[in-house]
Amino acid sequence: MTTWRILRRPCRAFGLLLLVILSVLVLRRLGWRSLISPWLRHRRVGLHTNGQNFMLEDSTFWIFGGSVHYFRVPKAYWWDRLLKMKACGLNTLTTYVPWNLHEPQRGKFDFSGNLDLEAFVLMAAEIGLWVILRPGPYICSEIDLGGLPSWLLQDSDMRLRTTYKGFTEAVDLYFDHLMSRVVPLQYKHGGPIIAVQVENEYGSYNKDPAYMPYIKKALEDRGIVELLLTSDNKDGLSKGVIHGVLATINLQSQHELQLLTTFLSSVQRVQPKMVMEYWTGWFDSWGGPHNILDSSEVLQTVSAIIDAGSSINLYMFHGGTNFGFINGAMHFHEYKSDVTSYDYDAVLTEAGDYTDKYNKLREFFGSISGGPLPPPPGLLPKTVYEPVRPTLYLSLWDALQYMEEPCPVCLFYIQPVNSEKPVNMENLPINNGNGQSFGYILYETTIDSSGVLSGLVRDRGQVFVNTVSVGFLDYKRRKISIPLIQGYTILRILVENCGRVNYGDNIDDQRKAPQQAMRLIAVRWVMEAHWREVESQKPIGGRRDMENHCSELGSWMPLTVRFDWKYLSE
């Protein structure tokens, strides 16, 4: 038996060699190119520019796009939404990629379930849609911190969206992982991705001239070979253009269209024009009205954009939902948190239903498509649920006694963190050192007098004396009276992260907690200490020494209440 095996091995090797030789002869006879899929054989150039036209290979190509964010739509509904996009006469899907959801902890990536980017892109290809990918790393998108992970803010010197070493090192590691998934999905590799956007609206931020060239190189070094684009609104277009990248514009009115296209022509000369974001509606803020844009105005503006020779992307085609606590916020003159719904008054409703905008746009795109459109799919069934009235509940105060025991939901031990000063949400020593991204924190300390509690809380703090609510603190309300209570008194502040700012130049200051300057002023003295700071960080107000018995809040004990989106979605 042993001898037979020794003799058999040379025969096997000879047979393999003969097979290779015959294969080479056959391939030469038939021609190598005949064995390459026609789908790949004709993919040489991809989407490119030729004068004022986009070209896909050798054919003039108009981009009729629509935005749908996979992370805002349940995976079970992706097919329905993309079919409706195709039936509306659009040919290209655009989507952002949220870094904060894909890398909730440093080095731990999640591309499963609703975050399965590859499945979403391939589904678009199956339906017959091209894809423009917008991978950031910053995406704005009315999502918490513009899609940047909150653990970046653990670095007190962090400068987001710059070439600051702490930021670029994190971006490099993220792009290493993300682009390994994206590269095979590119057009020249047989996938549907025909273009990739470099960052997002950086012209309106513009804090580091070296940053955008760095992002461009980071994409190219990792294998991105398709057409690169930038995207800017009227506030940043003049500063957002970079060499070797096609600039596109974001707008809502025909007046802006004329101004921005004129500027593009002066900068880019003869290049194709594209409105990367035509805002079909707008997002809503808590306490504000639901924003609505008339369907007739939408049709007129879309028609004007295309009549001007510009390609277009409808932002949003379908908005979806800010699940859990992923919503962002705006903070210019005042802080405004975005609502859970991302309906956006888009072409499809939050539930995926048709609107007047859909019907009018479908008729319009059908008239210029050169062929019949596929029929719109039927509406998905809806269910009306009976009201639910819980009969059993556990209050926060009752739950505190169990915090040394494992949580029955997530099986983690929830333990207090002791510190001399309030620790912000991002720097809590939890989640493998990554802090807390979303939700609530309970801060508590003992006090021995009544008084006026003053200070800034980001974003909202419900104030309790023992277990009795005495009011709240936020950006507008910065003082609250603390009543006199006999005996052992615990001052508690339940701080809520209502959403980190997603747009503007203050994204570096989004750490959530009671701020360090918080004071409890004893009421038995009339004089009250006032502290103000200027940009030099030097106090310009006087302090009445110790006469006013101004006592800093002492030993804080934050309890992390882990209402994280991940757990809500499971």
Q: State the catalytic residues.
A: 201, 277
CB count within 10 Å of CB 241 equals 18
Contacts of 203 (CB under 8 A, 6+ apart): 230, 232, 235, 236, 237, 238, 239, 240, 241
CB count within 10 Å of CB 58 equals 9
The letter for the amino acid at 411 is L
The letter for the amino acid at 405 is E
Contact between 296 and 347 (Cβ < 8 Å): no
Query: Residue 404 — φ and ψ, nearest 5°?
Result: -85, -5
Contacts of 93 (CB under 8 A, 6+ apart): 65, 66, 67, 68, 82, 85, 124, 129, 130, 131, 132
**83-86-90-94 Cα dihedral, nearest 10 degrees:** 40
Distances (CA, A) of 344 to 10, 154, 285, 319, 339: 70, 32, 11, 6, 11
The SS3 of residue 308 is coil
- The Cβ-side half-sphere exposure at 434, using a 13 Å CA radius, reads 13
Pairwise CA distance, residues 161 & 168, whole Å: 9
Q: Which strands make up the sheet holding 59-61, listed edge to edge?
A: 47-50, 53-56, 59-61
Pairwise CA distance, residues 436 & 421, whole Å: 17
Query: Residue 256 — φ and ψ, nearest 5°?
Result: -65, -35
Instruction: Please tell me whether the peptide bond between 483 and the residue prior to it is cis, using omega within 30 degrees of 0.
Output: no
Pairwise CA distance, residues 283 & 329, whole Å: 10
CB contact burial 265-280 (16+ within 10 A = b; e otherwise):
eeeeeebbbbbbbbbb
Pairing verdict, β 519-521 and 451-454 = antiparallel
Q: What is the DSSP letter of 186?
A: B
Residues paired with residue 341 on neighbouring β-strands, in sequence order: 321
Contact between 288 and 107 (Cβ < 8 Å): no
**480-485-488-493 Cα dihedral, nearest 10 degrees:** -20
